[in-house]
Structure 1
Amino acid sequence: MLDALRRGATTWVAKILLGLLIASFAVWGVADVFRLGGGAVIAEVGDTEIEATAFQRAYTRQLQAMSRQMGQPVDRDFAVALGLPQQVLGQLMSDATLTAAARDMGLGVSDEALAREIADDPNLRPPGAGSFDRGYFTRLLRENGMTEADYIADRRLFSIRSQLTEALIGGLTPPPAYVELFDRYRSETRSIEYVVLETGAAGAVPVPTESDLTTWFEANKGDFQAPEYRDVSVLAVTPETMADPTTVDDAAARAEYDRTIAAFTTPERRRVRQVLFPTAEEARAAAERIANGVSLDAVIADRGLSLDDVDLGMITREEIVDPAIADVAFSVEAGVVSEPIEARFGGALIEVTEIEAEIRKPFEEVKDEVKRTMAARDADRLVADTYDEIEDARAGGATLAEIAQRFSLPLITVKTDVTGLDTRGDVIASIPQSADVLRAAFSSEEGDETDPVRAGGGFVWFSLDGVTPAQDRPMSEVRADVVAAWTAEQVSDQLADKAEELAEAVRRGGDFAALAATAGMEIRTAADLTRASQAADFGPVGLEAVFEGPSGHVAAVDGHGETQVVLKVTDVTVPPFFPEAADSTQIAGQLRGQIGESLLTQYIDETQKALGTSINQQVLQTAIGTPTL
């Protein structure tokens, strides 16, 4: 196929086509390049089918990319919670929609144009490769299970979709007025003066009557519900639970200690002053001066160096690059200037001013630690063996309690809410890998056969033994909490009323500073606030209020915590707008992209309505559950 393309094009561009095709694997990704034949259909757009294998490959690629970004493997449940399967399938369906629409319009691309398009794309040049490498290209195709013909066909579809996309949004230019408004929104600054009303300014709160509490509790009963609790039995098989240090005798531990002695040794460190000379002869001359009574400090000064220039600090032998200098530095006595040293690049003199002796922990001090480490290492093998045996026992119908007894493993039984708190509200610390176990336990039903949860180098099995539904508590049980919540609400309401009273007085022309002083509050100021500023005394809601009106605008808003803030806009500054400025050009580019994306999304949505779409949820769930890694 590639040879045919090469013959069909007459320009030099076609001759380098092979070398430029390779990088498109990275540019378009698996979703565009790999279209595997055979197998179940996961979705349809009009007459275009999307196969489950194509989805699986694209989904796996996204999982791997997300794992790299997060620095740790992303499991299926987390990916599903983020909606990753729907995002991947949505992109595949969007591509299929554009392809179908382009074909209906009769769009196409010639071999020569396709070759030129690929060759002119700077993203398609492999790093460091200036020409086509047949071996690299063939290997890349083989590793990803596709042929040259498949590659060319898929790149052709991408080109056709690009023609349609370019026709739809390629010439978009945001109106200058829109760019100016956006620039003003971003760059406008405001200055304010404001006061912060603490909860003490709310005044006295009346003692609630029984009727007050009852009425309020009935309206807010849901806030005091007892959460759903689940009875969960947990069995953990990890290196920690399987490790038995008592099986390691002292002789074996001593041998391991001797083998890993460096781990229990803090090496000797010395503070070294090193004076380097261009030649060994110059070093010998300096040594003679010192022998005749000249101080090393004077020699250092004569060389135009400061004391900091020659101080290597407290270092170990391994930190000195030159072996000759290292040998002398760790053999000379403190306070004695060394004999001249023939170093790698000339000569040197050394003086040691401080010594920290090597510290080696004795065997008896670390014996237990060594045994634990050895036992944990042996436990890795035991974990694998025990996993197989437990799974066999479960397959035979054994309960976790029976399995725990058979293998002499501790069985943890808890009553927990979804956050890992017991019925007293205390954290249950005994659940290993608690976040994952709780998530799985609260996603299960009684009687479900659940998979073990991975826990570091081991596994955690659990069984759901019972469910206590969430239920309302009587007020007598939560009376103290009800009184506290009612009182807090009264304080909040009264404080908000005080803030609004002050704001209204300022709006009527009152002197803000005088009114604040009368109320025992201090005027504060904030200058040059933008809509992206982080205000110290109020959050996003308060910042939004700063930009709600003109200069002189007054507002009362919620502050941080339980506070209220009354603010007044004292200055509004709108920088001049220059359409040709770099910032304006950048804004125009951003808006162009946003408008284009919005229009393209609308086009795809309407086209899908016209063509008709369907998703096979059963195939989707199967594909999600078994990604091809």
Structure 2
Amino acid sequence: MADKIKSTTIGGKVRTLMVGTLIALLVLAFAVWGVEDVFSQRSDRAVANVGKTEVLAAEFEVAFKRELEVMARNDGQSLSHDEAYARGVHTAVLSDLIQQSVLGVDADVLGIGVNRKLARQEVAKIDVFRDELTGEFSEQKYVNILAQNRITREEFETDVFRNLRRAQTIPAIIGGVEAPSEFAAQRYKFLTEQRKARVLTLSRDAVPAPPEPDEDTLKSFISERAVSFTAPEYRSVTMIRLETFDLTPDIDVEEDALRGAFDYKVELGDVGAPEKRSLVQIIANDEDTAKQAAELLATDQDPAVIASGLGLIEPDTYDDVVAADIIDPETSKAAFEMADGDIKVLLGSLGQWYAVKVTGITPAIVPDYEAMKEELRQELLDQYALEGLYDITAKIEDGMDEGLTFKEISEQVGLPLQSIDFINRLGETQDGVKLSGIAYIKGVAEDDILLTEIFTNDIGFETDLFETSTGGFAAIRVDDVINSELRPFEEVKEQATAMWKTLEIDTALQEKMLDVTAKAQSGTDLEALAAEIGDGAVVEDVILVRSAPSEQVGPALTVALLEANVGDVDRGAGAKPLTRQIAELTAIVSNNDGLSGQFADVLQDQASVAIRSDIQRAYQDAILAENPLVENQAKIKSVLGIDSGS
């Protein structure tokens, strides 16, 4: 498979969309475990088994579809099941599910459990689900965000549950494992070792220029690579779309509302900072003893010494706290009424006497209302617009229930219809213009939910309202379709010619490289070979270091040289397009410098991570040895609708 596909869990999907707000909860320090494939059938309802634990077909199908949605959203790739299967998406998705199954078996072995109530409590702590004004967990916001991302509550909380269980499993295996300092020293020598090489680079000038291809050759070339020369499908659409930004220009926010929102934020502590106090309190059994303690506090003696001398318990000291942090309410109230340095004797709420001294005051930080005014205005605008949006969408849904057409609904609610004249799956017009929108107003090309609806519905069908990626609502009708088809020969002739010549040159360079490599390995000097070739052949000396690979040598050749012995000759693609390189390793120079400081700490941490990873892999292998992995490839293809012969 040419492309490496990375699977995404439910939590991973939400992380991408929410700009990392779930990372602390859902991304855990766990190295991805490899899994050996065993191809045999085990259960009709399972695509794989880890011992007695099944990876159900239904679970795999849902995860696979979600992965395609994520790829379409992030990369603009709309793949069919056949295309995704050919690229190995199914393998990445299945590996992720198998890993979860292994972790479940692992946790069972260790006796680790997580109460699902705890998982729900952790969900309530996630910032993205908090109300912007109250700062409290918002059930409605939670439901809305999951709905926008097509995730059920049960699925999300199950994913949180699994990750919490994983968070407890991993420390049980690798807790306390640290690499010796000698490991860091060895790693330092390994990373900073120098390797010197003579490198012969062949460019396109080293091979004859290919002739102009005839028409039959070009047509055959185009036919073999039809995907590169095929026009995408285009669709024209009529749409009812209502977003909060459509309503905000007509909304006026009054000064009283702005001031009220500001005061509420201050009261909650969302902005600014409350006044804080530092104090010491000595607890006494009676008023007279408390007065003695107060008199001694006035002499600036150590409160601990005072308490000890009076036969009292250790005094309570509060440093820079708010009123709620002080346990006794009476002490708290008094402390925030006293001036700095004041001393007071008082009776606490539980019948105890206190000698209290205020030792410091940190004034409250009052936020600047004028500076926050525009931000508050935008928040209230969004809030009012959302309320207005729900009112209008209710009227639209009523019209749909009555069987009204888009045009009739548009006239009834006073919302203009939008017409889009032929766009492709990426939201581009036939002229190559991408409908990206402006500023904070997202265009169709930036909303994959809209694009998905446009390209999955039949011509003439008026959809129900659905929620867009920005929290608005839309309904669409596909008016016409221009099918995907091979572009006319004359239109792609120039592009095909350039591509054919490039491939011809690349093939010739590959053959030339193999020929030159054989001669170099037989003992012919690289300079002599370069002189024999002439134009397009250059020899230079290169120094390679593992910690800082050279930009002069191609990646594959770099890896080969870092593993080679002195005198070895290796080859590979060059660092630049349409180049090939042949290299001879001429020397290996060890670094004998000492290792210390921050770099030593970093390398030791890296060595510790590597050891922990090895331990995890060994532990996983032990789990799989007792609970064999069996994959049901026939079931996988059946679930995805893939021809068993493919």
Q: TM-score, normalised by structure 1?
A: 0.45
Structure whose CA Rg is larger: 1
